[in-house]
Amino acid sequence: MSLPFEEVHRQSSFIFADAPDEDKYSVCVHCGFCLEVCPTYQEWSDENHSPRGRVYLIKQTAEGHLTLNEDVMDPVFTCLDCRACESVCPSGVQVGALIEEARGQVFYANPKRGWRGWLEQLFLREIFPHPKRLQKLRALTRFYQVSGLQTWVRRLGLLRILPRHLQALEAAMPEVTVQPLLGNSENLPMVDGKSSTRKNTGEKGKVALFTGCVMDVFYTHVHEATAEVLLRNHFQVHVPSEQKCCGALQVHAGDRDTARSLARKNIQAFLNSDADYIVVNAAGCGALLKEYPELFRNYPEEMERAELFASKVRDISELLFEKGWEPPKGELCETVAYHDACHLCHAQKIRHQPRALLASIPGLQLVDLPDADRCCGSAGIYNLTHPEMAQRLLERKLADIPDDVSTLAMGNPGCLLQISSGLKEKNVPVKVVHTVELLQRAYRMEGEGEDGAAKTCAN
């Protein structure tokens, strides 16, 4: 006999704020359509580590049939939060949100102790939320890269004390540039359009660029490309200086209070900027920014602003597609495959927009990547917490890259780092770039041929 709702609710093992929402788990009809697209189920063939199994586990815990602890909730942590299951679920079960809410319960019920707890606290609360501290870490990384220390560490084989996946990530780490974009946008002439060779009318609206944390440390050049492409397409571009990290890493780890505090600061900074659009070039950040209202579902007085904020958020490919872009005239003679970052295709349903941008580049051959929307194993910090599964998924992704491909394009920094580390380790000479970098290059190629004509693949 089933218990009345109030009784069930009272007996729930989820006792902290933001518990998994009954409206989300109760709509699962156990059909199993999600099993075959779930990377962990594909690898382990274990129902516990499938979407259906995880939703059932959450329901059982919500109803008090299971106790709340990290061991019981292990399948919630082996989940990549890739949300491939959501793309095929006929009932619209929000598996990603349920997983994140369940992790929140474990985070508060069983705070990590010892060095793991200290490290988690250090990164989630003391470094990523504070741009100035993040910049110190950035400066240290740059010092490591340019002072010769990295060369000596590699030459002496000191990295051999690290696990293999960390060695691969270190090898693929992009060179940290001198300055981040946040706080230095005035130094980039392209941002105010002064050095643009074409007149930027700004007629398409005012864009506030979201810089993020990891993206602005390792991929500042992608921000520059984003700003340049937006200016080329007649948007005004601004970089609100009070913005913070989006909070996605905290949400994935279960630290919802820190994520909410970051969300409040971002909502304030971006709504104050009076921008028409908030543009993101990192799929993971974009997905969370669009889902800020979910973080405030128990805070009705803040919901309106969270919804207004979310309504302005666009991935760079989404905005260009929505408002129209000028197809570049410069040719890129490359064979390109596109990898769908999970948080673009499954979480934001953005699939055709980046492909349309790439297809508009003259000379560029766009070819299919088999299973392009299967996770590469990066998944936030999953490649650090579950390296064995992350490596298996990376191997599958690398094996799928067609032989004739010269460049792999994508829209997320985690995927960029993960896939480049795999390719570098195997000495595969395929370039890995953000989609917007190819557009930037094609625009820059305009007028580079003889007599100022666009350069062609033939000359």
Q: Least Å distance between CB 236 and ligand SF4? A: 37
Q: Least Å distance between CB 411 and ligand SF4? A: 18
Contacts by residues 79-82 (CB-CB < 8 Å, ≥ 24 positions apart): 79/40, 79/49, 79/54, 80/39, 80/40, 80/342, 80/375, 80/377, 80/379, 80/382, 80/389, 80/393, 81/252, 81/342, 81/379, 81/380, 81/382, 82/39, 82/342, 82/346, 82/375, 82/379
Q: Which is nearer to ligand SF4, 52 or 339 (CB)?
A: 52
Q: Least Å distance between CB 409 and ligand SF4? A: 22
Binding mask 400-439 for ligand SF4 (x = CB under 6 A): ----------------------------------------
293 binding ligand SF4? (CB under 6 A): no
Q: Which is nearer to ligand SF4, 37 or 364 (CB)?
A: 37
Binding mask 18-57 for ligand SF4 (x = CB under 6 A): ----------xxxxxxx--xxxx----------xx-xx--
Q: Least Å distance between CB 57 and ligand SF4? A: 11
CA distances from 245 to 133, 218, 251, 369, 393 (A): 12, 14, 12, 31, 27
153 binding ligand SF4? (CB under 6 A): no
Q: Which is nearer to ligand SF4, 76 or 208 (CB)?
A: 76
Q: Which of 94, 28, 77, 21 is nearest to 347 (CA)?
A: 94
Q: Strand 365-367 to strand 335-338: parallel, antiparallel, or no bridges (unpaired)? A: parallel
- The dihedral sign for the CA sequence 105, 107, 108, 111: positive
Residues between 86 and 105 that touch ligand SF4 (CB under 6 A): 89, 91, 93, 95-96
Containing 432, the helix (H) or strand (E) segment is strand 431-434
Q: Which is nearer to ligand SF4, 407 or 412 (CB)?
A: 412
Backbone angles phi, psi at 5, to 5 degrees: -55, -45
79 binding ligand SF4? (CB under 6 A): yes
Q: How far is CA 415 from the centre of its chain?
A: 8
Which range touches ligand SF4 (CB under 6 A), out of 78-86, 105-113, 269-277, 438-446?
Answer: 78-86
Q: Least Å distance between CB 75 and ligand SF4? A: 8
The residues that bridge with 313 in the sheet, in sequence order, are: 278
Q: Which of 391, 380, 390 is nearest to 426 (CA)?
A: 391
Q: Which is nearer to ligand SF4, 29 or 453 (CB)?
A: 29
Q: Least Å distance between CB 102 and ligand SF4? A: 11
DSSP 41: H
Helix ranges (DSSP H) in 273-315: 283-290, 292-295, 300-312
Q: Which is nearer to ligand SF4, 63 or 224 (CB)?
A: 63
# of chain residues touching ligand SF4 (CB under 6 A): 27
Q: Which of 210, 298, 215, 284 is nearest to 251 (CA)?
A: 284
Q: Rounded to whole angstroms, how far apart are CA atoms 284 and 317?
A: 14
Q: Which is nearer to ligand SF4, 79 or 275 (CB)?
A: 79
Q: Which is nearer to ligand SF4, 56 or 108 (CB)?
A: 56
DSSP 176: P
Q: Which is nearer to ligand SF4, 34 or 262 (CB)?
A: 34
DSSP 238: E
Q: Least Å distance between CB 70 and ligand SF4? A: 17
Chain positions contacting ligand SF4, by CB under 6 A: 28-34, 37-40, 51-52, 54-55, 79-85, 89, 91, 93, 95-96
